[in-house]
Amino acid sequence: MAVERTLSIIKPDATRRNLTGRIITKFEEAGLRIVASRRTRLSTAQAELFYGVHRERPFFRSLVDFMTSGPVVVQVLEGENAIAKNREVMGATNPANAAPGTIRKEFAESIEANSVHGSDAPETAANEIRFFFSGLDIVG
């Protein structure tokens, strides 16, 4: 298995409820290392660009409004098989379908306010990491 990096976002529903530490603990317990981290608030333009692939979806405007509604924590996670492992720790998009013990099962409020984002493939991981971090920000 290869060591990979993936982009994680702790979403505004989770920062609002002060869940940052509990979510980070889930990553670390799964063997993922936080190699870059920044708390920020997305602008509308940033959220639209980041979720550009969903532009034609009916929930796009609502998703952008939600993602700009409060602070987020953007992080680079590193570890063996990090992209798939992070998706596993996150759980299914809809918390109603998420497995027990996953972040979304334990913390998500809804299919939209689902507490975390995680890259879904190596190419998107590389692009999403580049979206938020320069190489100098990432210290493994």
Positions in the binding site for ligand GDP (CB under 6 A): 59, 62-63, 93, 111-112, 114, 117, 120
The per-residue DSSP string of 1-70 comes to --EEEEEEEE-HHHHHTT-HHHHHHHHHHTT-EEEEEEEE---HHHHHHHTGGGTTSTTHHHHHHHHTSS
Hey, what are 72's tokens?
A: 């987020």
Q: How far is the CB of 34 from ligand GDP (least distance, A)?
A: 19
Residue 24 or residue 103: which is nearer to ligand GDP going by CB? 103
For the chain, give the longest Cα–Cα distance. 39
Catalytic residue among 117, 125, 129, 132: 117
Identity of residue 40: T
Instruction: Give the nearer residue to ligand GDP in terms of CB position, either 26 or 117.
Output: 117
Does 117 qualify as catalytic in the annotation?
yes
Nearer to ligand GDP, 78 or 128 (CB): 128
Rounded to whole angstroms, how far apart are CA atoms 96 and 99? 9
From the CB of 25, what's the least distance to ligand GDP, in Å? 20
Cite the active site residues: 117
